[in-house]
Amino acid sequence: MTNIEAQAFNANNEQSLRKLARAIIMSQGHFALILVCCKFSPQPLSVLNQLQEVSTLPIQGVMLPPSVDTLFTAIRTAVDEPPPPAVVVFGLDSVVAVDQVLSATNLVREEFRKQFPFPLVLWIDDTILQKMIRLAPDFKSWAANPLRLECCHHRAFQPIYKMACVHGK
């Protein structure tokens, strides 16, 4: 990746992160589903740090384990009390039973609105987006078009991937 490509990459992502921060800020105090679509697995700690720089809100990150059974329970268990201003969920693409998780999410979609008084950002790839359209159409319909980020896979831009649950506080 040349220096010019790297600058364009950073500028495009900064604009998308600003849009994401604006969506989070405008959704404070109530449930909102925000989808962020990226081709490559993100670096959660890096993403949360960058997002907090542009939003100034303490955003909580949740890394889903591959063995998760339901999205709702996994998030409810991981979310701090009192609830944070926003939650960003990573790792849906690594869930073993993702089809079942998405189907179950669609069935309990009203619980998200009842229990989560904050914007919920799901960090997904195109494969998960297509599965969500097919398996959780009612839940997915609560989100606007996904925000797209160019997640660079070049070594110079990849800090060590943190697999633990990340809290951006």
28-38 residue pLDDT tens = 999 999 999 98
CB burial class (10 A; 0-12, 13-18, 19+) of residue 71?
buried
Token readout for 110 is 């009203």
Cβ(59)–Cβ(48) under 8 Å?
Answer: yes
Q: 86 near 57, Cβ under 8 Å?
A: yes
Burial status of residue 7 (CB atoms within 10 A of its CB: 0-12, 13-18, 19 or more): exposed
pTM here is: 0.83
**31: nearest Cα among 69, 79, 95, 93:** 79
Residue-wise pLDDT tens digits, 93-115: 999 999 999 999 999 999 999 99
Where does residue 8 fall: left (phi above 0), alpha (psi -120 to 50 degrees), or beta otherwise? alpha
- Buried b vs exposed e over 42-58: b needs ≥16 C-beta within 10 Å? bbbbbbbebbbebbebe
Report pLDDT digits (tens) over 123-144: 999 999 999 999 999 999 999 9
Encode pLDDT of 41-84 as tens digits: 667 778 888 888 888 889 999 999 999 999 999 999 999 899 99
- Decide: 112 and 72 in contact? Cβ < 8 Å: yes
